[in-house]
Amino acid sequence: MAGDNVKHLTDAEFEEYVLKGDLPSLVDFWAPWCGPCKAIGPVIEELADEYAGKVQITKMNVDDNPTTPGKYSIRAIPTLILFKGGEIVDQVTGAVGKTQLVAMLNKVA
Amino acid sequence: MANTDYQLIILGGGPAGLTAGLYAARDRLKVLLVEKGVVGGQVLVTDWIDNYPGFPDGVTGNELIEKMAAQAERFGLEVKNDNVVKMELSEAVKKLTLESGDELTCQALIICTGARPNKLKIPGEDEFAGRGVSYCATCDGPFFRDQEIIVVGGGDTAIQEADFLTKFAAKVTVVHRRETLRATRILQEKAFANQRIEFIWNSNVVAIEGKKEVERVKLRNNEGEEQEISASGVFILIGTIPNNEMLLLEQLGADKFGFIKTDDEMRTKVPGVMAAGDIRSKTVRQIVNGAGEGAVAAIAAEHYLSGLN
């Protein structure tokens, strides 16, 4: 079902799941009050289905999890960061389209 | 007319594109809306809308767009997420090449690609984008709780968002290059009455500085005197530039800023190609006239397809 492949991350899970994970991860930093974040939600769900087994597609609510966004100096959302082997491969801010995110994901998939 | 994939293709899913789509779908045209990002356009970054009729208590940008999209979908508007990279408009059959590699043909085209925030083009602006430099108060305001921030601009957007940002920030300083605001009166009155807003007139921001994040901005006034003020956020709300990268400006007809010129029926110089919304050359850029132009453009497209003009 749509959205089942999106992992909702907490600060506590971030290091183990993203930085030490076997697969690359895309983290969508978002908040419920952010219109553009809501707007890209369906795109993130589609990507999670399409990249299942290749890239971990995750979301982190910045209201509930302040530590990780602080660590990456995130002061604008939606910000999407692509990680591989614990390092940032690419990042983008704003309600970008699916084609741009696909191009980003294909760098690691 | 020749056989094409669609009778009408609409580029862009902001208020103009969604309204054009609503009208075209209700007219039972074979219509497709192509949106490169997500539907909504600049409305999505507007926190609160008090001047769209029919919403006496106001409405959020997000809710207004959800309703517009739902209304168009109710009449079967098809939406495709892709980006046009090339267009051929000279013949009766118009050809669009998309980023995905798909090629689409249509008989009529409505361009509603909109506009995006203008940049200051100063040192530090790109470097600190997303780390203190913002173009969207509703997206990023809550990151500046109890902090001191700058808003650059003097129009409706700058003044409305300066007021909105005082919900979070300890102090908002509006830096404006003139000594009067262009914003509509009711917004000015609210901002002048707001204790947490200060104004610095006749000044430009010339640099944004910091280490990892924004820490201060450098201002220069019209006499050439410079000063630094500390700020952790800089919201740049100084008008818009057209999303015209993929458009054939010379063929379509554009003004010196790159906005598309049309007649009163939203028709460009190219038969069968209309433009509506913020991409049009015009003086008033409001949601309500964007939507209105979308309706006019859809009707013009229908007339063109019927061979009426």
Residue B252: predicted pLDDT: 98
> Which residues of A lie inside 8 Å of B (Cβ-Cβ)?
31, 33-40, 42-43, 63, 73-79, 93-100
Pairwise CA distance, residues B124 & B295, whole Å: 41
Which chain A residues are Cβ-neighbours of B39 within 8 angstroms? 39
| Burial class of residue B280, CB neighbours in 10 A (0-12, 13-18, 19+) | buried
Report yes or no: A82 and A108 within 8 Å, Cβ to Cβ: yes
- Residues ≥6 apart with Cβ < 8 Å to A23: A53, A54, A55, A56
pLDDT on residue A1: 52
- State whether B67 and B160 are in the same domain: no
B96 and B147 assigned to the same domain: no
CA nearest to B229, candidates B248, B258, B250, B209: B209
Q: How many beta-carbon pairs under 8 angstroms link A with B? A: 85
Residue B78: give its domain's CATH number.
3.50.50.60
Question: Does B210 contact chain A (CB < 8 Å)?
Answer: no
- Domain annotation covers residue B64: yes
Instruction: Report the 10 Å Cβ neighbour count for B173.
Output: 20
The residue length of chain B stands at: 309
User: What is the total count of domains within chain B?
Assistant: 2
Tokens standing for A97?
């389209």
Contact B139 A78 (CB under 8 A): yes
Check B140, B156, B163, B278 and give the catalytic one: B140
Domain boundary among B211, B236, B261: B236
**Tens-binned pLDDT, residue by residue, of chain B (309 aa):** 568 999 999 999 999 999 999 999 999 999 999 998 888 888 988 878 999 999 999 999 989 999 999 999 999 999 998 889 999 999 999 999 998 899 999 999 999 999 999 999 999 999 998 889 999 898 899 999 999 999 999 999 999 999 999 999 999 999 999 999 999 999 999 999 999 999 999 999 999 999 989 999 999 999 999 999 999 999 999 999 999 999 999 999 999 999 999 999 999 999 999 999 999 999 899 999 999 999 999 999 999 999 864
Higher pLDDT, A32 or B151: B151
Residue B126 lies in a domain: no
Q: Does residue B63 form part of some domain?
A: yes
Q: Tell me what pLDDT residue B249 has.
A: 96
Lowest mean pLDDT among A48-52, A84-88, B129-133, B248-252: B129-133
The amino acid at residue B178 is R
Q: Give pLDDT, residue B21.
A: 98
Q: Give residue B145's pLDDT.
A: 93
**Amino acid residing at B217:** V
pLDDT score recorded for residue A35: 83
**Which of A33, A37, A96 shows the shortest C-beta gap to B37?**
A96
Q: Does B138 touch chain A (CB under 8 A)?
A: yes
State whether B139 and B175 are in the same domain.
Answer: yes
Residues B245 and B259 placed together within one structural domain of the fold: yes
User: In sequence order, which ranges of chain B are alpha helices (DSSP H)?
Assistant: 15-26, 61-74, 137-140, 156-165, 185-193, 249-252, 287-305
Q: Is B139 annotated as catalytic?
A: yes
Q: Are residues B142 and B81 located together in one domain of the fold? A: no
**Antiparallel, parallel or unpaired: β B197-200 and B203-210:** unpaired
Q: SS3 for B168?
A: coil
CB contact under 8 A, A39 and B35: no
> What percent of chain A clears pLDDT 90, i.e. is strictly above it?
74
B47 catalytically annotated: no
- Indicate yes or no: CB of A31 within 8 angstroms of CB of B143: no
Q: What is the DSSP letter of B259?
A: P
Mutant choice from B38, B143, B146 vs A, greatest count of A C-beta within 10 A:
B38
Is B190 a member of any domain? yes
Asked whether residue B1 is domain-assigned, the answer is no
**B159 and B259 in one domain?**
no
B38 and A99: CB-CB below 8 Å? Answer: no
Question: Which helix H or strand E contains B111, and what residues bound it?
Answer: strand B103-111
Average pLDDT over residues A77-86: 95
Specify the pLDDT at position A109: 86
Burial label for B137, CB within 10 Å (0-12, 13-18, 19+), is: buried
Among B18, B44, B66, the strongest candidate for a mutation testing the A interface, having the largest count of A CBs within 10 A, is B44
How many CB atoms sit inside 10 A of residue A87's CB?
A: 9
Interface predicted TM-score (ipTM): 0.75
CATH number assigned to the domain with residue range A7-105, chosen from the 4 options 3.40.30.10, 3.40.640.10, 3.30.70.1140, 3.40.50.740: 3.40.30.10
- Does B164 map to a domain? yes
Give the domain extent around B95. Answer: 6-116+240-305
Domain spans of chain A? 7-105
**Chain A residues with CB-CB distance to B212 below 8 A:** 73
Q: Is B72 helix (H, G, I), strand (E, B) or coil?
A: helix
pLDDT for A39: 83
Residues B252 and B226 in one domain: no
Q: Which of A27, A65, A73, A75 should be substituted to probe chain B, the one whose Cβ sees the most B Cβ atoms within 10 Å?
A: A75
Cβ separation of B233 and A38 shorter than 8 Å? no
- Confidence at residue B2, expressed as pLDDT on a 0 to 100 scale: 65
Instruction: Compute the C-alpha angle B70/B74/B80, nearest 5°.
Output: 70
Residue numbers in B near A76 (CB within 8 A): 129-131, 134, 136, 139-140, 143
Whole-structure pTM value: 0.86
Which residues in B lie closer than 8 A to residue A75 (C-beta atoms)? 130-132, 134, 140, 143-144, 213, 233
pLDDT at B44: 87
Same domain, B10 and B112: yes
Six token digits for residue B61: 């940008």
The answer, yes or no, to whether residue A2 has pLDDT greater than 70, is no
Asked if residue B211 and residue B285 are part of one domain, the reply reads no
pLDDT at A12 over 90: yes
In a domain, B66, yes or no: yes
Domain boundary among B212, B236, B260: B236
Q: Domain boundary at B203, B236, B269, which?
A: B236
Q: Helix, strand, coil % (nearest 5) of chain B?
A: 25, 30, 45
- Rounded to the nearest angstrom, the minimum Cα separation between B194 and chain A is 23
Two structure tokens written together for B68: 């517009």
